[in-house]
Structure formats: C-alpha cells, structure tokens
Amino acid sequence: MDIAVEKVCEFILRVRALDVKEGPTDEDSGSNPIDDGSRDVLTEDPDDATEEELREVIAGLNDDERAELVALVFVGRGDMEPEEFADAVRLAREREAAGTSTADYLLGIPNVGDLLAEGLEGLGLRCEV
C-alpha cells in the first residue's frame, strides 16, 4: 500500500471521534460536567472542527492514498476480497474520476472507521493501540 498504516489508523481515530458525536442531550444542563453527568461531552458543537479536520486530512492525501483509503472500505465492507485490493483501488480511482468526492463518500458511510479497520485486518495489517 502507498498509504502508511499509521495514516489510516490516525484517520480511523478521528472518524470514530466524529461517529460518537450526537445532538444535544439536555439543552438545559448546567455548565458543570459533574452536575450533568458529563452527558454533554459527546454532543455536537458548531465550533467542533472534527469533520472539517477530516476533510482536510483527506484533501491532503495524494491520489493513490485516497484511492487506497476507499479500497480499504470496499474490502472491510466485504464488497471485495483482500486479494482483489488492486481492483478495489482501480474502482476507487474510477469513482473519484467520475466526480464523487472522496471526503463526501467516506464521511457519508456509517461506521467507516470500523470498515477501515476491518479492511486493514483483511490485508493482514492492524493499528497499534
């Protein structure tokens, strides 16, 4: 793979942080986390740059790295077998060439972090914890 496993793992961590965000749980909660049971820690905030940062990370990848990231999702989701990784990369390049934004595509997939991790495992790789 052209994309470093560490880059994929960093992306997985960031996208999982985005996945756990939810809408406000108690808009009238106090400002003290102990008083409100720390429920507001995982709520979305307009100032939260997590999705924007993920889009910047994806934009900062070269063509091969973006294609391999999408190919890992194909493998992790079971659309393609690990032995078909080269074909998965080709399909990912075709998808992007057809005008599909890689950032929109990846960030629109529920549990994309889990799929990327499964794709890595399918290739015999894993993130160091």
| pLDDT tens-digit readout, 66-97 | 999 999 999 999 999 999 999 999 999 999 99
Tell me, what amino acid is at 22?
E
Q: What is the mean pLDDT of the chain?
A: 85
3-class SS of residue 108: coil
Nearest to 66 by CA among 81, 79, 56: 56
The residues, ordered by sequence, that sit 6+ positions from 37 with a Cβ below 8 Å of its Cβ are none
Contact 61, 72 (CB under 8 A): no
The pLDDT, as a whole number, for residue 87 is: 98
Phi then psi for residue 43, to 5 deg, are -90, 155
Estimate to the nearest angstrom the gap between the alpha carbon of 80 and the chain centroid: 18
Report the predicted TM-score, pTM, of the whole model to 2 decimal places.
0.79
- Write the Ramachandran bin of 62: left for phi over 0, alpha for psi from -120 to 50, otherwise beta: beta
Query: Can you tell me the mean pLDDT for 40-52?
Result: 59
